[in-house]
Amino acid sequence: MQYFQKELETMNREERKALQSERLVKMVKYVYENQKPYRAKMDAIKLKPEDIKSIDDIYKLPYTVKQDLRDAYPFGMMARPKKDLVRLHASSATTGKLTVAGYTKKDIEIWGECAARCLVMAGASPESVVHIAYGYGLFTGGLGMHYGAETLGAVVVPASAGNTQKQIQLITDFEADVICCTPSYIIYLAEEIDKLGLKIGEDIKLKAGIFGAEAWSEGMREDIEKRLGIRACDIYGLSEIAGPGVACDCQFKTGMHFQDDHFYPEIVDVNTLEPLPMGESGELVITTLTKEGMPLLRYRTRDIASLNNDPCPCGRTSVKLNKITGRSDDMLIIRGVNVFPSQIESVLLKHTEIQPHYHINVDRVNNLDTMEIVVELSPSVEVDAVAHIEEIRKKLTSEMASALSVSAKITLVSPGTVARSEGKAKRITDRRKL
Ligand SMILES: [Zn+2]
């Protein structure tokens, strides 16, 4: 099986552009009529839906930013009433308030089709057994790939995250040929498989993997491919737009094929926000062309990347997204979970036994992301009151885990120990080598 939706995936560039134009014109009108916050942005610059005549006019449209989603929390950005929505997903935002995305039945169908295209790009077919070790829940990773595999007609194993020994047993017994999880987890899994003495190709029959939700390098790709004898594909997505399936590597790995009949990408200069020419690196901006529940026009993803338009031997004609190289804000991605320093601050500020002087150390140990938060004790706490300090540490550890949805090691230090800086504090040391 080479394509999931051959006609859409291989249409020529002119047809693709015509389809994008037709969809954008409709989408702008739809958003103007149904999404109040965006209508206000267009009115403010006296832009009318009729001013957008083709995809070439997209630069005239104002940007949508995460703050817009936060201001409209929870339902202000939905273009449909609640009765038309069938699903809500959410991810962390800077204030600790969630970024909510609503989906109609059709949105979920299209999401499933996009994820199915990605699975086929990686080498899956309706005969495949697809093992999904992404978390299921508000996070879109698990369910997105789940829909993709079901839409493809493959057998889905919804293993979700955690319990590595059981995951390995399921992969072995059910003879999974495709796996979906984070890149750091697959390396951890490969090590455990090795420790158990299982044979690649005999006990473990994996042929391909789709790995996303965190940044990873070409070096990691080589390592994963060698250890497990599989094809390792990168996938891109974000819950605000759809979840996984927005773009994915095919077997030739010439950049992730962007599903640009549904999601239109642009790269803009991080400082001036002016559109950049093909190939240049800047902030990725995405416009949904078919979304009903929460359409977004020119959404600034804060991900730094570049696009390429080189022909791909696979025959797909979409534009391609090169690997994400960073973020234009201070968001950290720890084991696939979005973490903002401001979320950490809001937990620290609730406690008088500590001071909001802190430093975050991020590392990758045994291929898993680790996060340590070094916090200063308040001068009122006796430094030798060991039991009391341990109690504070435990309390913070549990509150932090619940606020961030990911665990962090809390280290309490004496007052004045955390380095102060003038101007913007540098609070993060990221030692992960990609
Ligand atoms: Zn390709």
* Cα-to-centroid distance, 144 and ligand 1 (Å): 21
The pLDDT value recorded for residue 228 is 97
Q: What is the mean pLDDT of residues 36-41?
A: 98
* 366 vs 297 pLDDT, higher one: 297
Whole-number Å distance, alpha carbon 329 to ligand 1 midpoint, is 31
Q: Residue 124 Cα, ligand 1 centroid: separation in angstroms? A: 15
Q: What is the C-alpha separation between 358 and 29, in angstroms, rounded?
A: 47
Distance CA 103, CA 196 (A): 42
CA dist 367 and 180 (Å) reads 17
- Work out the average pLDDT over 364-383: 89
| Distance from the alpha carbon of residue 149 to the mean position of ligand 1, in angstroms | 20
DSSP 3-state assignment of 59? helix
What is the Å distance from ligand 1's center to 312 Cα? 5
Among the listed ranges 269-273, 327-331, 392-396, which one has the minimum average pLDDT value?
327-331
pLDDT band of 421, cuts 50, 70, 90: low
Give me ligand 1 centre to Cα 121, in Å: 8
Q: Given a cut of 80, is residue 326 above it in pLDDT?
A: no
Task: Say if CB 268 and CB 8 are below 8 A apart.
Answer: no
What is d(CA 103, CA 122) in angstroms, rounded to the nearest whole number?
26
Q: What is the pLDDT of residues 257-297, one digit of tens each?
A: 999 999 999 999 988 999 999 999 999 999 999 999 999 99
pLDDT of residue 405: 87
Fill in the DSSP letter of residue 367. Answer: T
CA of 143 to the centre of ligand 1 (A): 25
| Residue that has been written with the tokens 């509150």 in this structure | 399
- Write down how long the chain is: 434
Identify which of 145, 61, 92, 34 has the alpha carbon closest to the alpha carbon of residue 342. 92
Average pLDDT over residues 389-412: 93
Q: Which residue has the higher pLDDT, 42 or 330?
A: 42
Say how many Å lie between the CA of residue 123 and the centre of ligand 1.
Answer: 12
**Ligand 1 midpoint to CA 314 (Å):** 4
Tell me the CA–centroid distance for residue 118 and ligand 1, in Å. Answer: 11
Whole-number pLDDT of residue 50? 98
Count of Cβ atoms closer than 10 Å to residue 30 Cβ: 17
Ligand 1 centroid to residue 316 C-alpha, Å: 5
DSSP per residue, 374-434: EEEEPTTS-TT-HHHHHHHHHHHHHHHHHHHSS--EEEEE-TT-SPP-SSS---EEE----
Does residue 422 have a pLDDT over 60?
Answer: no
Task: Give strand pairing partners of 282.
Answer: 305
Q: Mind listing the pLDDT tens digit for each residue in 238-252?
A: 999 999 999 999 999
Report CA(193)–ligand 1 centroid distance (Å).
31
The pLDDT value recorded for residue 425 is 57
pLDDT tens string 59-83: 999 999 998 998 999 999 999 999 9
Q: How close is the Cα of 158 to the center of ligand 1, in Å?
A: 27
Question: What mean pLDDT is reported for the chain?
Answer: 92
pLDDT tens digits along 2-21: 999 999 999 999 999 999 99
User: pTM for the full model?
Assistant: 0.83
CA of 239 to the centre of ligand 1 (A): 24
Give the model confidence (pLDDT) of 93-148 as tens digits: 545 578 899 999 999 999 999 999 999 999 999 999 999 999 999 889 999 999 99
Distance 242 CA to ligand 1 centre (A): 21
